Structure 1
Amino acid sequence: MQVEGASDDGAFQRRREQLVVLILAAVQFTTIVDFMIVMPLGPQLMRSLQIYPAQFGVIISSYTFAAGVAGLIASSVVDRFARRTTFMTLNAGFLLGTLCCGLAPTYELLVVARIVTGAFGGILGGMAMAIIGDVFPEQRRGRATGSLMTGFALASVAGVPLGQLLGTNFGWHVPFVTLAIAGIPALVLTPFAMPALDTHVGKSHEHPLRSLIETFSDANHLKAFALIVTLMVGSFSVFPYLSVFLVGNIGITEIQLSLLYVAGGVLTLATAPVVGRLADRHGKLKIYRIVAPGSAVMFVVLTHLPPVHAAVAIALFGVMMAFNVGRMIPAMAMVTSSVEPRRRGGFLSANSSLQHIASGIGASIGGAIISKSADGKLEHFGTVGWIAAGATVLSLWLAGRVRVADGAATSAEAISLAAAAEASADAGETLIEAT
Structure 2
Amino acid sequence: MAQDLAVSLPSAGLLVSLYALGVAVGAPVLTALTGKWPRKQVLLAVMSLFVAGNLLAWQAPSYETLVGARILTGLAHGVFFSIGSTIATGLVAKEKAASAIAIMFTGLTVALVTGVPLGTYIGQHFGWETTFLVVAILGLIALIGSAVLVPSNLKQAPATKISEQVKVLTEPRLLLVYAITAIGYGGSFTAFTFLASILQDVSGFNASAISLIMLVYGVSVAFGNIWGGKMADRLGPTKALSWIFLGLASVLLVFNFTAVNPITAVLTILVWGAFAFGNVPGLQVYVVKLAEQYTPNAVDVASGLNIAAFNVGIAIGAWGGGLIVANAGVEHTPWVGALIVVGALLLTRLSAALDNKQKQSAKSELCQAA
Q: TM-score, with normalisation over the residues of structure 2?
A: 0.85
Cα gap change, 1:280 to 1:393, in 2 (>3 Å): closer
Q: Residue deviations 1:208-260, cap 9 Å, x none?
A: 2x134311122332232222222222222222122222222332222222123
CA contact (8 A) 2:46 2:80 kept: yes
Cα gap change, 1:174 to 1:401, in 2 (>3 Å): farther
Aligned runs of 1:158-173 on 2, under 5 Å? 159-173=115-129
1:381 is matched with 333
Shift in Å, 1:153? 5.4
1:312 is matched with 264
2:366 is matched with none
2:361 is matched with none
**Percentage of identical aligned residues:** 24
User: In terms of mean alpha carbon deviation, does 65-74 or 110-119 score higher?
Assistant: 65-74
**Matches of 1:312 and 1:243, distance apart in 2:** 16
SS in 2 for 1:79: coil
2:303 is matched with 348
Asked if residue 390 in structure 1 is aligned to residue 342 in structure 2, the reply is: yes
If you compute each CA radius of gyration, which structure gives the higher value, 1 or 2? 1
SS in 1 for 2:35: helix
Cα gap change, 1:314 to 1:152, in 2 (>3 Å): farther
Shift in Å, 1:360? 1.8
CA contact (8 A) 2:224 2:273 kept: no
Cα gap change, 1:144 to 1:198, in 2 (>3 Å): closer
**Matches of 2:103 and 2:252, distance apart in 1:** 25
- Could you tell me which amino acid in structure 2 is paired with residue 123 of structure 1? V
Pick from 313, 321, 346 the counterpart of residue 273 of structure 2. 321
Asked if residue 365 in structure 1 is aligned to residue 365 in structure 2, the reply is: no
**Matches of 2:334 and 2:185, distance apart in 1:** 18
**Matches of 2:204 and 2:306, distance apart in 1:** 38
- Could you tell me which amino acid in structure 2 is paired with residue 336 of structure 1? V
Greater fraction of residues in helix? 2
Cα gap change, 1:399 to 1:331, in 2 (>3 Å): farther
Q: Residue deviations 1:297-318, cap 9 Å, x none?
A: 1222334545222x43233223
**Matches of 1:157 and 1:224, distance apart in 2:** 25
Asked if residue 95 in structure 1 is aligned to residue 95 in structure 2, the reply is: no
Aligned runs of 1:145-156 on 2, under 5 Å? 145-152=101-108, 154-155=110-111
1:24 is matched with none
**Matches of 1:403 and 1:224, distance apart in 2:** 12
SS in 2 for 1:81: coil
1:219 is matched with 172
Shift in Å, 1:129? 0.7
Asked if residue 264 in structure 1 is aligned to residue 217 in structure 2, the reply is: yes
- Between the two proteins, the alignment pairs up a number of residues equal to 354
SS in 2 for 1:80: coil
**Matches of 1:289 and 1:297, distance apart in 2:** 12
Cα gap change, 1:64 to 1:155, in 2 (>3 Å): closer
Asked if residue 123 in structure 1 is aligned to residue 79 in structure 2, the reply is: yes
Which segments of 5 or more consecutive residues in structure 2 lack a partner in the other structure? 359-370
Q: Residue deviations 1:370-404, cap 9 Å, x none?
A: 3168xxx6364355334333334324324515759
Asked if residue 182 in structure 1 is aligned to residue 134 in structure 2, the reply is: no
Cα gap change, 1:388 to 1:161, in 2 (>3 Å): same
Pick from 38, 47, 51 the counterpart of residue 82 of structure 1. 38
- Could you tell me which amino acid in structure 2 is paired with residue 228 of structure 1? T
Cα gap change, 1:360 to 1:161, in 2 (>3 Å): closer
Q: What's the Cα RMSD here?
A: 2.7
1:22 is matched with none
Cα gap change, 1:399 to 1:182, in 2 (>3 Å): same
Cα gap change, 1:317 to 1:102, in 2 (>3 Å): farther
Cα gap change, 1:271 to 1:238, in 2 (>3 Å): closer
